Amino acid sequence: MSVSEAKVVTGQLANLSGNDPSGNTRDDCAVISLKHVTREYAGHGSVVRALEDATFSIVAGEWVAITGPSGSGKSTLVNMIGCLDRPTSGELKIDNINTAAMTATELDRFRADKIGFIFQQFHLIPYLSALENVMLAQYFHSMTDETEAKTALQRVGLGDRISHLPSELSGGEQQRVCIARALINNPPILLADEPTGNLDAANQKIVAELLQDLHRNGHTIVMVTHDPEMAGLAQRRIALSHGKVFCHPVGGPMVTLRRATDRL
């Protein structure tokens, strides 16, 4: 998707999703809010600016696709939203809390509470069963609860595969375990990094439907993708190029999302 294409998207859900009539997100409704966020890295004798002056907000329950070519700053942006990194300057608020002011330990705790990660490569621990992989997220969050973990797996359609090792599951099933793990602590934000990038068409469809379902149930989804069809499912696209946010228009309506699903 080009930058100009992204700018075409209209904002029918503006009022529902906390955007004002001019299309800007209202800060008090934002679950993610960036103001002039810049991230710089020290390079060999120079400073590399991976993200420059990014300002936008994402409201609760919104599904946003982050797109852009390699090296455009997607990973930097996702790392900061995922509380794995902090801005060099500017303000990044998650759930109205400024992450820049947090200590490393507070940020770890905050990440466990607020963010659920869905990875392209699933990143399941190979020697733990599907159930144990889900329980691992519980363990680092608070305490393990096998019943809850089983319910999470049933929710993604893997109730009969709980004792299987990742190597005994298909790619789509592994991704569903990954989604169950991301959901288990009930975080307000799901951060999906190319969630269907490693899946065939059939599994891609299953995962896309699962994400749609989660979105319908009120989850905020921030999804990095190269796939225009997956990006089309989102309400809004944020395009990045050379570290700059080129557009953050209010996203497309649910009908667009359904159309895209139909194409899958």
Partner 1 sequence: MFFRLLMESFRRQRRRKMLAGIAILLGTTAVTAMLALATTIGDRIHKELAVYGANIVIYPKADLLDVKVGGVDVKPASGGAYLKESDLAKLKTIFWGNNITGVSPELPVQMSVARHAGDPLVAASAVGYWFDHDFSGLKTGAPALHPWWRLQGSWPTAQNDPGHRNVVVGANLAKKLSLNVGDNFTVQQTQTAGSAQSSAVVTGIVTTGNETDNEILMTLRDAQTFTGANDAVRRVEVSARTKPEDAFARVDPDSLPPKQREIWYCRPYANSIAYQIREAIPGAQAEQVRRVEQSEGNVLKRISGLMWLISAAALLAAGFAVSAAMATAILERRGEIGLMRSLGASKGAIALLFYAEAGLLAVLAGTMGYLLGSGLAAWLGARIFAGDGGTAEAILIPVLLPVVVALALIVAIAGSTPSIRTALRMDPSAILRADA
Residues in contact with partner 1 by the rule CB under 8 A: 75, 78-79, 82, 84-85, 104-105, 108-109, 111-113, 115, 117, 119-121, 123, 125, 127-128, 132, 135-137, 139-141, 144, 181
Closer of 116 and 251 to partner 1 (Cβ):
116
Burial of 202 (0-12, 13-18, 19+ CB in 10 A): exposed
Own/partner pairs, 7-12, CB within 8 angstroms, 24+ separation: 7/247, 7/249, 9/236, 9/237, 9/249, 9/250, 9/251, 9/252, 10/249, 10/250, 10/252, 10/253, 11/249, 11/250, 11/251, 12/250, 12/252, 12/253
Closer of 92 and 137 to partner 1 (Cβ):
137
Separation of alpha carbons 151 and 149, rounded Å = 5
Kindly state the tokens that stand for 128.
């733990």
Closer of 115 and 247 to partner 1 (Cβ):
115
Closest to 251 (Cα-Cα) out of 83, 51, 100, 61 = 61
Shortest distance, position 55 Cβ to partner 1, whole Å: 22
Closer of 46 and 70 to partner 1 (Cβ):
70
Shortest distance, position 148 Cβ to partner 1, whole Å: 14
Shortest distance, position 124 Cβ to partner 1, whole Å: 8
Shortest distance, position 86 Cβ to partner 1, whole Å: 12
Closer of 102 and 254 to partner 1 (Cβ):
102
Shortest distance, position 121 Cβ to partner 1, whole Å: 4
